[in-house]
A = this chain, B = another copy of it.
């Protein structure tokens, strides 16, 4: 926290640790720090590390290689800002509401694939032509879920609805018509997210 209390040399060491994590994605070893600053002894580095720990800007774990941790750093995910103040966002701790993780898809048990939307049939659900939808492979779905169905050779994205005992696929666009689910219709997945890019 009190980075101002650090001397310029201590700040330089801290910055090197920071850069090492940021660009090499790995905290440095004691000897890597020594080499960078042309220190001829690892003891010098340990003096610096002790000071940085004492000042509360890093944490280290005993007997563990590269176990230097920056106290106020969150490098991994993309911050989701809850509150934005005037000027360019500083990504200050107070502003960060949460972190966006892209990883939940990757290690999911079932396979995931993406499909590019063609047509306007789901515009009222905010799914536009050209959007990508991420689809979780499954051949059943629940009512009101947006599903991917194959009819003949065509894949279509619609909302699954039920009226009485009959299931049908409902577009989110009054200009399109419902599709009754019968033997010709195969549900192949559930839409789990929509991604749109502005080139």
Contacts and interface: CB of A to CB of B under 8 A. Distances in A.
Interface of A: 3-4, 11, 15, 18, 21-22, 25-27, 29, 65-67, 69, 75-76, 78-89, 91, 97, 100, 102-103, 105-107, 109, 111-116, 123, 126-128, 131-132, 134, 137, 139, 145-146, 148, 150, 152-153, 155, 186, 188-198
Contacts of A76: 21-22, 25, 102, 106
B186 A193 contact: no
A105 B78 contact: yes
B116 A97 contact: yes
Given A65-B66, A84-B148, A85-B150, 9 more contacts: A22-B76, A29-B65, A80-B132, A81-B114, A88-B139, A89-B137, A105-B197, A126-B196, A146-B198
* Interchain residue pairs A-B with the least CB separation, the first 5: A84-B155, A65-B65, A194-B196, A80-B114, A193-B197
Contacts of A145: 198
A195 B193 contact: yes
Contacts of A97: 116
Contacts of A127: 126
Nearest to A112: B78
